[in-house]
């Protein structure tokens, strides 16, 4: 007698649950003593995560956003957000977008978050786009991603409306986040949400009952890179939720945490770690109004968790010390730091007590500061820890959803990008005699591949391992240290390897250097490699050090050489900086503030 054949969707649901429970069971039973937090729930996909969070935290504040009317941060509960997600999702299905690719483009906002969740939890494939791109670049991505609908804020509304009107893309609809009413050319976001809510109230369950296959492509993220070549990274629900569960086993998050969201949401670092992770844990997300409002918004919302990139943390750290020196309190602060380092050994953190002015810059309640996106100067991490913050770094790539390694919050190493995450693996391929090789990672967080580029996918995924292109080594305790990017390595004429990032870290310790980029050129006779540092100085720091006097470029370079020579004295000859280029303008960067290393203009 034959067995009962389960419907296909029932098999899928069962398999998802088995996977999720096993994933969490592995975390709970981990033999790694640094996996400290093992009590979170298993989740099968982003929809399961959202639905269960609403069940647990319905009346809790999910989002804080500045109201244009009141000029104050206004709360939005989990239940209110869930209703908006269901309304928008239902309307999009009714509009014929089931199974299609839908983009969201705009500043970090509540409507951005609702759009992402609505699409990914039952409509189709979400394709977040970089709001800093030009109209031409956006059109190229719309064509590459075969986008059917774009939900956008006002910055690019006209650009997308023109694309639709021109009729030479797959774009069928443009939705405005700000429009008060729909027109033939542009739909209003608020109209869609209201219409969808009415359909749900009338019994439409097309969206509510939509099943999620957690192995299918549900997200396409176009990598910004530093080379100008975009690739569409295909991610599944399993990729994302596995990363969320793993992160929460290494970082302790209290029930009252407030995440401060200012990194662009279209990047997977902010999206997974600063958006979906707090939703999973029932926490609150406060949206920054923009980079120039960071300090103001921090004081208004008093966040407890701050995710940033090295450029942001390094800039804030330098500005703090500049302010301290201006007040003549450098010596006092250094004494407090020395005492704090001693008391921390006895689990007493006096930083919060004696460094209130510094903590006030972050809103007064900041507890956790996590740096990602690139390796950070370890002195900055130590400096933030000296101020009483639990600061550490992680390592990620879009292709890893993004976390590939993360420092445990109980025992981070300042110079390390972290250890392997639970249920994941990390190794070094093609090691040299110095133990340095390419960092490779494996796990449920690794992407499905590059959209419509199996050739490029095959180049980076081999036998289940993702080859990151980053170089580094692993110490005896399993901590990973990054030395540079494989494509950035300078190979000198005598075959020696120079890692630009290492030299840039040294340069960042010079107080009056704002930013730098190290590169190489041939000597005039073609027989030697000249290591060059392009440097932009910090004018405020220069004034602080040398007084309010005019300095010619030659005089500035002369002062730079005094500092660079000190660095060179500690380096082997082949690594030494032999030329300085003084820059007036900021380096060209991508939207995560990484310098575009191969942009020709950045070498001048």
> What is the SS3 assignment for 280?
helix
Residue 557 has pLDDT above 60, yes or no: yes
Q: Is residue 91 part of a domain?
A: yes
pLDDT in tens, 496-505: 889 899 999 9
154 and 169 housed in the same domain: yes
Which pLDDT score, from 0 to 100, does residue 420 have?
97
Q: Is residue 23 part of a domain?
A: no
Q: Is residue 43 part of a domain?
A: no
353 and 493 housed in the same domain: no
Number of continuous H segments (helices) and E segments (strands) in the chain: 20, 27
Tell me, rounded to whole angstroms, the distance of Cα 194 from its chain centroid.
32
Task: Give the separation between CA 371 and CA 360, rounded to whole angstroms.
Answer: 20
196 and 293 housed in the same domain: no
pLDDT in tens, 264-291: 999 999 999 999 999 999 999 999 998 8
User: Which of residues 425, 451, 486 is at a domain's end?
Assistant: 486
Q: Is the peptide bond before 253 cis (omega within 30 degrees of 0)?
A: no
313 and 417 housed in the same domain: yes
Give residues with Cβ within 8 angstroms of 73, minimum separation 6: 64, 65, 66, 67, 286, 300, 301
Give residues with Cβ within 8 angstroms of 583, minimum separation 6: 534, 535, 536, 604
423 and 546 housed in the same domain: no
Task: Give the separation between CA 459 and CA 146, rounded to whole angstroms.
Answer: 24
| Percent of all residues in the chain with a pLDDT value above 70, rounded to a whole number | 96
* Angle, helix 46-57 to helix 78-94, in steps of 10 degrees: 140
187 and 307 housed in the same domain: no
Long-range contacts from 557-561, C-beta under 8 angstroms, 24+ separation = 557/582, 559/512, 560/510, 560/513, 560/535
* Helix (H) / strand (E) containing 369: strand 368-371
62 and 210 housed in the same domain: yes
Q: Is residue 177 part of a domain?
A: yes
Average pLDDT in the 2-26 region?
78
419 and 332 housed in the same domain: yes
Residue 8 has pLDDT above 80, yes or no: no
Beta strands in 465-552 (DSSP E): 465-474, 480-485, 490-491, 497-498, 513-522, 529-537
Q: Is residue 265 part of a domain?
A: no
The pTM score is 0.87
pLDDT category of residue 224 using cuts at 50, 70 and 90 = low
496 and 438 housed in the same domain: no
Q: Is residue 100 part of a domain?
A: yes
pLDDT in tens, 339-355: 878 877 777 766 666 78
The count of structural domains within the chain is 3
101-105/149-152 β-pairing: parallel
Residue with tokens 């010390």: 321
534 and 463 housed in the same domain: no
503 and 453 housed in the same domain: no
The CA distances from residue 411 to 34, 147, 391, 478, in Å, are 8, 44, 11, 12
495 vs 211, residue with greater confidence: 211
User: Which of residues 429, 451, 486 is at a domain's end?
Assistant: 486
Domain of 554, CATH number, reads 3.30.300.30
Whether 207 and 86 have beta carbons less than 8 Å apart is answered as: yes
What is the residue range of 514's domain? 489-603
Task: Give the separation between CA 514 and CA 538, rounded to whole angstroms.
Answer: 5
Task: Give the separation between CA 447 and CA 460, rounded to whole angstroms.
Answer: 11
Residue 489 has pLDDT above 60, yes or no: yes
Domain of 297, CATH number, reads 3.40.50.12780
Which pLDDT score, from 0 to 100, does residue 528 have?
87
> What is the SS3 assignment for 296?
helix
Whether 285 and 261 have beta carbons less than 8 Å apart is answered as: yes
Mean confidence (pLDDT) of the chain: 92
- Secondary structure string (H, E, C) spanning 439-474: EEEECCCCCCEECCCHHHHHHHEECCEEEEEEEEEE
Q: Is residue 12 part of a domain?
A: no
Residue 543 has pLDDT above 50, yes or no: yes
305 and 410 housed in the same domain: yes
Tokens of 480: 């990973």
CA atoms lying within 13 Å on the CB side of residue 59:
0
User: What is the number of other CB atoms lying within 10 angstroms of the CB of residue 74?
Assistant: 13
Q: Is residue 15 part of a domain?
A: no
User: Measured on CA atoms in the order 99, 129, 284, 414, is the torsion positive or negative?
Assistant: positive
CA angle 455/484/503 to nearest 5° reads: 150
Which pLDDT score, from 0 to 100, does residue 5 have?
42
pLDDT in tens, 374-423: 889 999 999 999 998 999 999 999 999 999 999 999 999 999 999 999 99
Residue 28 has pLDDT above 50, yes or no: yes
Tokens of 594: 């990484």
Which pLDDT score, from 0 to 100, does residue 1 have?
33
Task: Give the separation between CA 485 and CA 113, rounded to whole angstroms.
Answer: 32
């Amino acid at each position: 007698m034959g067995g009962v054949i389960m419907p296909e969707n029932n098999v899928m649901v069962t398999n998802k649950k088995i996977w999720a429970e096993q994933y969490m069971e592995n975390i709970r039973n981990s033999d790694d003593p640094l996996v400290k937090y093992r009590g979170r729930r298993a989740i099968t996909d982003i929809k399961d995560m959202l639905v269960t969070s609403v069940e647990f935290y319905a009346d809790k504040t999910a989002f804080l956003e500045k109201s244009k009317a009141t000029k104050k941060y206004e709360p939005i509960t989990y239940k209110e957000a869930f209703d908006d997600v269901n309304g928008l999702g239902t309307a999009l299905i009714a509009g014929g977008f089931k199974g299609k690719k839908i983009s969201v483009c705009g500043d970090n906002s509540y409507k951005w978050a609702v759009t992402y969740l609505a699409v990914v939890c039952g409509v189709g494939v979400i394709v977040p786009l970089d709001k800093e791109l030009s109209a031409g670049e956006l059109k190229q991505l719309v064509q590459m991603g075969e986008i059917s609908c774009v939900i956008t804020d006002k910055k690019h509304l006209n650009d997308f409306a023109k694309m639709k009107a021109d009729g030479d893309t797959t774009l069928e609809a443009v939705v405005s986040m700000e429009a008060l009413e729909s027109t033939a050319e542009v739909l209003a976001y608020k109209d869609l949400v209201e219409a969808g809510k009415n359909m749900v109230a009338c019994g439409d369950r097309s969206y509510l009952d939509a099943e999620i296959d957690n192995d299918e492509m549900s997200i396409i993220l176009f990598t910004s890179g530093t080379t100008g070549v975009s690739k569409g990274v295909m991610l599944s629900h399993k990729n994302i939720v596995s990363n969320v569960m793993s992160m929460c086993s290494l970082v302790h998050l209290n029930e009252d945490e407030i995440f401060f969201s200012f990194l662009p949401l279209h990047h997977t670092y902010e999206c997974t770690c600063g958006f979906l992770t707090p939703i999973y844990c029932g926490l609150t997300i406060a949206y920054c109004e923009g980079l120039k409002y960071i300090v103001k918004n921090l004081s208004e919302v008093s966040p407890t968790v701050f995710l940033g990139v090295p450029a942001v943390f390094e800039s804030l750290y330098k500005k703090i010390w500049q302010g301290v020196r201006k007040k003549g309190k450098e010596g006092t602060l250094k004494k407090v730091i020395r005492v704090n380092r001693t008391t921390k050994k006895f689990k007493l953190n006096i930083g919060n007590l004696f460094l209130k002015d510094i903590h006030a810059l972050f809103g007064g309640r900041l507890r956790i500061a996590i740096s990602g996106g690139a390796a950070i100067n370890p002195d900055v991490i130590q400096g933030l820890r000296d101020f009483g913050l639990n600061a550490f770094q992680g390592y990620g790539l879009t292709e890893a959803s993004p976390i590939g390694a993360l420092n445990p919050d109980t025992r981070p190493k300042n110079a390390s990008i972290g250890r392997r995450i639970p249920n994941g693996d990390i190794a070094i391929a093609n090691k040299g005699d110095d133990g340095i090789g390419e960092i490779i990672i494996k796990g449920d967080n690794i992407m499905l591949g590059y959209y419509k580029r199996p050739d490029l996918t095959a180049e980076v995924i081999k036998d289940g391992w993702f080859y990151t292109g980053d170089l580094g080594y692993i110490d005896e305790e399993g901590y990973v240290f990054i030395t540079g990017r494989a494509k950035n390595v300078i190979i000198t004429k005598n075959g020696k390897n120079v890692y630009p990032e290492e030299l840039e870290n040294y340069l960042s310790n010079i107080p009056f250097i704002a930013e730098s980029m190290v590169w190489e050129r041939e000597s005039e006779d073609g027989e030697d490699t000249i290591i060059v540092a392009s440097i932009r100085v910090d004018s405020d720091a220069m004034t602080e050090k040398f007084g309010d006097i005019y300095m010619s470029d030659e005089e500035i370079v002369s002062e730079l050489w005094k500092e660079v020579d000190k660095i060179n004295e500690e380096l082997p000859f082949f690594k030494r900086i032999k030329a300085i280029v003084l820059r007036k303008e900021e380096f060209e960067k991508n939207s995560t503030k990484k310098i575009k290393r191969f942009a020709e203009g950045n070498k001048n």
